[in-house]
Amino acid sequence: MPGRVLVTGGAGFIGTHVADALLARGVEVRVLDSLIGQVHDDGDRPDYLSDHVELVRGDVRDADVVERALAGVDRVVHLAARVGVGQSMYEIAEYTSVNAVGTAVLLEALLRHPVRALVVASSMSIYGEGQYVDAEGAPAAAPERTRAQLAAGEWDPVSTAGASLTAVPTREVKVPALSSVYALGKYDQERLCLMFGSAYDVPTTALRFFNVYGPHQALSNPYTGVLAIFAARLLNDRRPMVFEDGEQQRDFVSVHDVAEACCLALDAPAAGRAINIGSGRSITVNEIATRLARQLGCEHLEPELTGKFRVGDIRHCFADIGVAQDLLGYRPRWSMDDGLAEMTSWLSGKTPRDGVEAATLELAVRGLTV
């Protein structure tokens, strides 16, 4: 895999790991990143971005900056995006601008700078609720939960007839159900890139990331991944705040596995496809909070069950990774135990700013929690 790859958003959590994985393959790496304060507190080049990576600082919506970043590049991994389901519901213009317009600017620039492959980061959030079956094991749609249900603490979706449903691994064939501005934006990015790839014969793959965790997550960003949010609470001697009853099922995947998937997608014959990238295993939010507390020696800080619900949240969603295995040769290598052990080691000595309560209050003031 020689050549030069541009990673947009490449100074962020996932991007720096993708850069490392590419460097390990002998690839030259350039990253484009705006280094926004919500992710990069001081706005400086992060010390965990390899010295061997060329950094172009700028906004993906700036056509001149994007043109400069693409010079001499033969492949692109497009990760640049604003990230946060809750925040997207009130910073609507910003999320739509960065995620949709930024992608459009990149694609127009690619008309003048043809590349051999394009990989775009999509998200499991586009599914809304994951897939379910009824009592007989037949596929069954899960209607969106109403505010009345949530206010009554009826967390699990039921069929239109009121019957119980069981969550099963979500496959790529599930019809998207876009329940947040963030989800809409990620679907927009995915479709724009796949449409562009088809029209201009650029091999393009969209990777639908599930819940990514690992070293270098922005611990002080209250809209980052839930494991980093829990870690910020625990390291400040506070209980992790859990919405609903904590029995939501999710798929947590190591950032190392995600970086590997990006590298595989640059070379694999999976053009034109949207592909799940997860661990292929489900775990409840309660369990992940408890296991992280145990790893950090904070067993006394049990999850705080708020009984509240955020608009745009879903109940259960975890990945079927069969397509990634078949088309990309993707094999997750990091177990949850190993991943949590690595994250605990990285967290040693850190005391991040805990902005969770302020962010939760912001959502409540805007009527975005139930």
Query: 122 pLDDT band (50/70/90 cuts)?
Result: very high
Query: 362 pLDDT band (50/70/90 cuts)?
Result: low
pLDDT single digits (tens) 138-155? 999 998 888 888 888 999
Q: Which two tokens stand for residue 34?
A: 């705006």
Tally the domains of the chain.
1
Domain range spanning residue 229?
4-365
pLDDT single digits (tens) 39-54? 776 678 999 999 999 9
Residue 17 maps to a domain: yes
- Comparing CA positions, the residue from 364, 317, 362, 334 lying closest to residue 172 is 317
Mean pLDDT of 161-168: 94
Q: Are 357 and 316 in contact (CB under 8 A)?
A: no
Q: Which two tokens stand for residue 253?
A: 């995947």
C-alpha 135/C-alpha 148 separation (Å) is: 24
Residue 80 maps to a domain: yes
In sign, the C-alpha dihedral spanning 51, 1, 330, 123 is: positive
- Show Cβ contacts of residue 62 under 8 Å, excluding neighbours closer than 6 positions: 105
C-alpha 243/C-alpha 232 separation (Å) is: 16
In Å, how far from its chain's centre is CA 354? 21
Q: What CATH number is associated with residue 352?
A: 3.40.50.720
Instruction: Tell me the longest C-alpha to C-alpha distance in the chain.
Output: 59
C-alpha 291/C-alpha 197 separation (Å) is: 42
pLDDT single digits (tens) 180-221? 899 999 999 999 999 999 999 999 999 999 999 999 987 766
Residue 138 maps to a domain: yes
Q: What is the CA radius of gyration of the chain?
A: 20
Helices (H), 71-176: 85-88, 92-96, 102-112, 147-151
Catalytic residue ranges: 182
β-bridge partners, 74: none
C-alpha 141/C-alpha 58 separation (Å) is: 43
Element holding 213 (H helix, E strand): strand 211-213
pLDDT at residue number 215: 93
Exposed / middle / buried, residue 348 (Cβ in 10 Å: 0-12, 13-18, 19+): exposed
pLDDT at residue number 349: 79
Kindly report the length of the chain: 370
Residue 207 maps to a domain: yes
pLDDT at residue number 310: 79
The single residue listed with the structure tokens 């304060």 is 37
C-alpha 223/C-alpha 70 separation (Å) is: 30
Residue 341 maps to a domain: yes
Mean pLDDT of 260-283: 93
Mean per-residue pLDDT over the chain, rounded:
91
pLDDT at residue number 207: 98
Between 358 and 147, where is the model more confident? 147
Residue 137 maps to a domain: yes
DSSP class of residue 39 equals T
The share of the chain scoring above pLDDT 70, in percent, equals 92
pLDDT of residue 369 exceeding 90, the answer is no
Residue 370 maps to a domain: no
Q: Are 115 and 66 in contact (CB under 8 A)?
A: no
- Show Cβ contacts of residue 117 under 8 Å, excluding neighbours closer than 6 positions: 75, 76, 202, 203, 204, 205, 265, 266, 267, 271
pLDDT single digits (tens) 219-253? 766 556 788 888 888 988 999 999 999 999 999 99
C-alpha 6/C-alpha 185 separation (Å) is: 21
pLDDT single digits (tens) 65-117? 999 999 999 999 999 999 888 888 889 999 999 999 999 999 999 999 999 99
- Show Cβ contacts of residue 243 under 8 Å, excluding neighbours closer than 6 positions: 285, 306, 308, 309, 310, 313
- Comparing CA positions, the residue from 353, 329, 127 lying closest to residue 219 is 353
Helix (H, G, I), strand (E, B) or coil at 249: strand
Residue 272 maps to a domain: yes
